[in-house]
Structure 1
Amino acid sequence: MFGGQAEAGVTFERPGPAGTVPAGLERFYGQQLGWGACDTYATSDSDRKIFASSPDLKCARLTVPMDYSKPDGKTTTLGLLRRKATDSGQRVGTLFVNPGGPGASGVDAAASLASAVAGNDLGKRFDLVGFDPRGIGSSEPAVHCLTDAERDKQRADDIEDTSAAGVAKEAAQFRDYASKCAQRSGSDLLANIGTRDVAKDLDVMRSALGDKKVTYLGYSYGTFLGTTYAEQFPANVRALVLDGAVDPNQSPADEQVAQSAGFQKAFDQFATWCAQRQDCALGRDASKAVQAYHDLVIPLIKNPVDTGDGRKLTFGDATTATVQALYTQQLWETLNSGLVQLKRGLGTTLMTMADLYDGRDTDGKYSNEQDAFTAIQCVDNPQSKDQAAELDAERRSTEAAPFLDNGQPLPTSSPGDSCSYWPVPSTSQPHLPKVSGLPPTLVISTTNDPATPYQAGVNLAGALGGFLLTYQSTQHTAFLQGSDCVDHVGVNYLVNLKLPAADPRCSS
């Protein structure tokens, strides 16, 4: 145990070290963990509600080096949440889960998945463990760039001006953001927050929890973390399910364009669904939906509308809300309602969805997910200094997703982004993974996934020599989300290490 005192209701365990332990890291790999109530790990209203209603969920803190090249130096702690296997006699081990982002809370994700695994062999035979990666959620220290008031102001000051003055203003905003991240988070954390280091943390976690090998479920960006772990520790992998794959060899610019095309495809699917309804905000002709959508949201650039809480819905907030809704068909009804409401000059519903995406609670407090997303992206990818390439990526993205076009002319210069002014260097770069000795993996890719397009899953499965499960649907990720076909393949693989003879296909 790394300091601290015993607390009432806390159970201390030291099942590790287990498996391979790198020299010099023994005290981390064999550390004692204290499991207790999760209330102090909550970072949102939803967390607090789930933790209060689920006494079987327990939390602990894992200590890891801030900088693995200096294991005797500064440390950071990660928040962990565990739901224990209900059949201890048949227990296989720990199922580690990461929900992606990057920047999303694994503590929150595991709590949300607890009910999904309760009725199958995953819940019976695995401890389900979610973790907040370094700098995220309940982990300490946390990435912090903007105050709640500054975040609200940034959203209200929606820059859609592509003139030279507008580009300069946006560049100044990016520069200021990067400066505040460095001041408020510290350069040590920013320099060591990348996926390279989180993969090392996962191996410490594996050992400290008593697992000789990792069984891992990663969604979205979590597929990149799983791939990075496999590259660093291939002999420590038992099983990997990678759902909603990030293409590890794709440049940020190409990823942006592919994602734009994915969201356009989802928007078109939404428009077709909506056109069948009498109350469709975009009209009954799906072929005219993009123009109808523009007629609703582009006026917000000059005339944002009231939301009922003293704020104004901007064009940026409206498009953020739309993107949020396109992640899952379950939000299409809400999106249509929000657009119908916008026709009446009120932005309450769309602002609520934009708040969901941006991590803003009803009390006006933000999670640090967006700050962490930027910090991780900036060190996971080399900084771009090529203005021509940046402008070309913006042009290609606009062509790929016309519904997101703000109607302004393309700028003649690029403001870059926050990463263009980032205070620390990148620690990795896109590349095709080369892993030898890796056991069979399962990659799940959804045909109309807006955020991580289908082809990325095809590419990742090929690079890892893994199996590809194709899910025919329009949503982001699929496992443990209601498809019996997907769940049957995934659960059988995780529990029994069995995969079909040929790449399976499922449909919604």
Structure 2
Amino acid sequence: MQRTRRRSLIAVGALAAALTMTLSGCVTAFFPKEAASQTSTPAPVADDLDAELRPFYEQQLSWEACAGDGFDCATVTAPMDWENPSDGEIELAIVRQRALNGNAVGSLLMNPGGPGGSGYDLVADSVDFAAGDALQQNFDIVGFDPRGVGRSAPVSCLDSADMDSYLYDLPQNETGSDAWIAEVGESSAAFNQACADNTGESLEFVTTVSAARDLDLLRAVLGDEKLNYLGYSYGTFLGATYAELYPDTVGRLVLDGAIDPSASISDVNEAQSMGFESALSAYLEDCLGSSDCPFDGTVDSAKQDIADLLASVQASPLPASDGRQLGSSTLLTAIIYPLYSADSWPYLSQMFDQTMSGDPTYAFFFADQYNGRDEQGNYINNQTEAFTAYNCRDYTFDADVDSMRQKAQELAEAAPVIGPYMGYGDIGCSTWPYPEQAERAEIHAEGADPIVVIGTTNDPATPYAWAEALADQLDSGVLVTYEGEGHTAYNKGSDCVNAAVESYLVDGTVPEDGLDCS
């Protein structure tokens, strides 16, 4: 059966557009590999902890060398259902690089975003990208796969061939028509049912609230009385949710590329459409000033050229050598992917040049990178499945056709290039097997220690207004602004941002609220 996917909610992962980066930043730690096998003593457990949870919090971790010199790994057992801990267990995978100075002040847990991004891979494969030297020297850097992700009771839906069909096949009906809505609805329902069939009962409990409770368990079994945490993108929502649930154990939290926890799915779609439209304009302004830009004229005329290109491949898809056809949805993914980082703009120019010449090779390469597909057609991670599972439970959705059409029209007006391809996202989750969905609300985390929130002024995936909103909502929120392009700001070249983050995490020096890093 043909499967089609309608884009709604852009994945918000810090590594989403590392086109210019070799993600192999494994560092040889201070300790020799032979010394890696050891156990960890959990932090003291509160006297009032539920008796059913006590064995989870009191477990001792057994670390084994892994992932190259200087890294060790362990598995943490967590309740499948935190409300009913005796109903079953899941395992969470964690990896650690011990403090390079040999005297860790504690653990620093990290999440790269998504939802669905692997914190395990972030640390094991690219620790230098995730954390600067000051953090690596002073903390045990800990990456973990949240429940449903990667190595931690992963969501599993389709094999590679069916995932190709789901992500890349072209719809047979006109976008927005009744027949098209039925077609996409059927495809989504089949995907959702496959997730239920192939994942099993743990799928019901893939939610950010459950993941935040897992995060407190990780804190405790690592031996930390308070949580030190650096979360990127979606990881800011996970961190903020943790702070709301456990304000008394909030240590030093930095939330970079913030999500507004009170934003509805409709708000998110509009903000991201406008965010990527703004990033596209910034790219074109830069491109038109260079000698090898595939466009000419003004930014507005170039944007119209891109809109025409999207419409063209929707009407007449471009065939690739592997038999796939480049339609508008895949081309949009190929455009979005390099917009996460200004360093990737030259590659975006090459992709446009090639696609406008009738060759979709670069476009498929970018889309495959975004979707986690390798050159052999295998999917190397489960980010699409986990992304869907989390979002279908973390938001409420409105599958009323008239409402969806109205919202689609509003998106097209707000972002004329990107917006027309971002509507109708409510269809996908309307048939999720677990219909209970979370009402979005402000997060205050009353009583928590200072929480540093970082926003980039032209961040396409997590618009700056979201950082302002989160910092304002949090009772102890401290806003740091980076004036620039791209998604997230720490360890991206700003000495001002880096100093603010590292001084707070290492020394506890709280940056000035409203600090502007130009």
- TM normalised by structure 1 equals 0.90
1:147 paired residue number: 159
- Paired residues, number: 479
**One-letter code of the match for 2:170?**
D
Q: 1:239: how far off?
A: 1.1
1:44 paired residue number: none
Q: 1:313: how far off?
A: 2.1
Does the 8 A contact of 2:459 with 2:485 survive in 1? Answer: yes
The one of 40, 43, 48 aligned to 1:14: 40
The one of 455, 464, 481 aligned to 2:492: 481
Paired residue secondary structure (2:454): strand
Aligned-partner Cα distance in 2 for 1:296–1:302 = 10
Q: What does 1:300-379 correspond to in 2, within 5 Å?
A: 300-366=313-379, 367-379=381-393
1:43 paired residue number: none
Does the 8 A contact of 1:444 with 1:478 survive in 2? Answer: yes
My pick for the range that moved more, 395-404 or 474-483, is: 395-404
Q: 1:117: how far off?
A: 6.9
Aligned-partner Cα distance in 2 for 1:433–1:113 = 31
Paired residue secondary structure (2:506): helix
Give every structure 1 segment of 4 or more consecutive aligned residues whose post-TM-superposition deviation is greater than 3 Å. Answer: 17-21, 116-119, 306-310, 385-389, 405-408
The one of 27, 31, 37 aligned to 2:59: 31
* CA offsets 1:473-500 (integer angstroms, 9 cap, x no match): 1101011222211000000011111123
Q: What does 1:408-427 correspond to in 2, within 5 Å?
A: 416-426=426-436
Change (3 A) 1:116 1:358: closer
The one of 474, 489, 503 aligned to 2:514: 503
1:297 paired residue number: 310
Aligned-partner Cα distance in 1 for 2:69–2:176 = 52
Does the 8 A contact of 1:329 with 1:475 survive in 2? Answer: yes
Change (3 A) 1:164 1:386: closer
1:5 paired residue number: none
Q: 1:19: how far off?
A: 5.0
Change (3 A) 1:146 1:282: farther
**One-letter code of the match for 2:124?**
A
Aligned-partner Cα distance in 2 for 1:118–1:232 = 26
Aligned-partner Cα distance in 2 for 1:417–1:163 = 13
1:3 paired residue number: none
Question: Could you list the runs of 5+ residues in structure 2 that have no partner in the other structure?
Answer: 1-33
Change (3 A) 1:396 1:37: farther
Q: 1:337: how far off?
A: 0.2
Q: 1:155: how far off?
A: 2.9
Paired residue secondary structure (1:326): helix
Aligned-partner Cα distance in 1 for 2:365–2:98 = 34
Aligned-partner Cα distance in 2 for 1:17–1:439 = 19
Does the 8 A contact of 2:37 with 2:65 survive in 1? Answer: no
Percentage of matched positions with identical amino acids: 38
Does the 8 A contact of 1:335 with 1:350 survive in 2? Answer: no
- Note if 1:203 corresponds to 2:216: yes
- Note if 1:215 corresponds to 2:225: no
- TM normalised by structure 2 equals 0.88
The one of 452, 460, 466 aligned to 1:442: 452
Does the 8 A contact of 2:454 with 2:482 survive in 1? Answer: yes
- Note if 1:490 corresponds to 2:516: no
Aligned-partner Cα distance in 2 for 1:117–1:422 = 33
* CA offsets 1:389-408 (integer angstroms, 9 cap, x no match): 33332222222221125599
Change (3 A) 1:206 1:415: closer
Aligned-partner Cα distance in 2 for 1:415–1:463 = 27
Question: Could you list the runs of 5+ residues in structure 1 that have no partner in the other structure?
Answer: 1-7, 39-50
Does the 8 A contact of 1:383 with 1:426 survive in 2? Answer: no
* CA offsets 1:401-448 (integer angstroms, 9 cap, x no match): 21125599x9xxx68422101111335320011322111110000000
Change (3 A) 1:62 1:427: farther
The one of 252, 264, 286 aligned to 1:273: 286
**One-letter code of the match for 1:147?**
D
Does the 8 A contact of 1:385 with 1:420 survive in 2? Answer: yes
Paired residue secondary structure (2:258): coil
Aligned-partner Cα distance in 2 for 1:391–1:163 = 10
Paired residue secondary structure (2:460): coil
Q: 1:166: how far off?
A: 1.6
Aligned-partner Cα distance in 2 for 1:405–1:92 = 46
Q: 1:138: how far off?
A: 1.3
Change (3 A) 1:16 1:485: same
Q: 1:37: how far off?
A: 4.1
My pick for the range that moved more, 357-366 or 279-288, is: 279-288
Aligned-partner Cα distance in 2 for 1:361–1:16 = 39
Aligned-partner Cα distance in 2 for 1:229–1:495 = 21
Aligned-partner Cα distance in 2 for 1:357–1:225 = 22
Does the 8 A contact of 1:168 with 1:415 survive in 2? Answer: no
Paired residue secondary structure (2:114): coil
Aligned-partner Cα distance in 2 for 1:78–1:98 = 14
Change (3 A) 1:486 1:118: closer
Q: 1:460: how far off?
A: 0.4
**One-letter code of the match for 2:302?**
A
Q: What does 1:448-459 correspond to in 2, within 5 Å?
A: 448-459=458-469
Provide the alpha-carbon RMSD of the alignment.
2.1
**One-letter code of the match for 2:190?**
D
Aligned-partner Cα distance in 2 for 1:500–1:73 = 44
Aligned-partner Cα distance in 1 for 2:272–2:129 = 28
Does the 8 A contact of 2:80 with 2:202 survive in 1? Answer: yes
* CA offsets 1:253-272 (integer angstroms, 9 cap, x no match): 11110111111100100111
Does the 8 A contact of 2:258 with 2:453 survive in 1? Answer: yes
